[in-house]
Amino acid sequence: MGRLLALDFGKKRTGIAVTDELQLIASGLTAVPTPELMSFLSDYFSKESVDALIIGLPKQLNNLPSESEPLIESFIKKFKLEFPLMPIERVDERFTSKMAIKTMIDSGLGKKKRRDKALVDEISATIILQSYLHTL
């Protein structure tokens, strides 16, 4: 069984989380500059077995797509050209950034660490992946 990889896709930076091989535990992996995302994924897929890519689905409170959805759709088109056999799942990502900051506060991280946007993105990706695992 391969891992599941989740993305909290952003304009500047993308948070990445991954499961263990048994697909039981979601863990933050890293955050990469979005322009470097495809090369990061190519490298990662060459080293690890990945069964599916989970991508956050940003929605507004009224359930309409957020302004970043066209960027994600564009990325997905490019991704499918590069990795046509990799399944893609989408997960509602509303409130993941707020939940990530709350998690950071609850775990005792100081203000300086909580300002680290890359860490927030990585934790958000972990929350997206954990949400997906709960649906299995």
pLDDT digits (tens, 9 = 90+) for 103-127: 766 667 666 665 667 777 888 899 9
- The pLDDT tens digits for 28-80 are 999 999 999 999 999 999 999 999 999 999 887 787 777 889 999 999 999 99
Enter the pTM of the model. Answer: 0.86
DSSP-derived secondary structure letter, 129: H
Residue 10's CATH number: 3.30.420.140
For residue 116, the enclosing domain spans 3-135
How are the residues of the chain apportioned to helix, strand and coil, as percentages rounded to the nearest 5?
A: 45, 25, 30
DSSP-derived secondary structure letter, 36: G
Q: Which residue has the tokens 């891992």?
A: 3
Count of domains forming the chain: 1
Q: Which residue has the tokens 């090369």?
A: 39
Structure tokens at 40: 């990061």
* List of residues 6+ apart from 22 with CB closer than 8 A: 1
Position 128 scores a pLDDT of 93
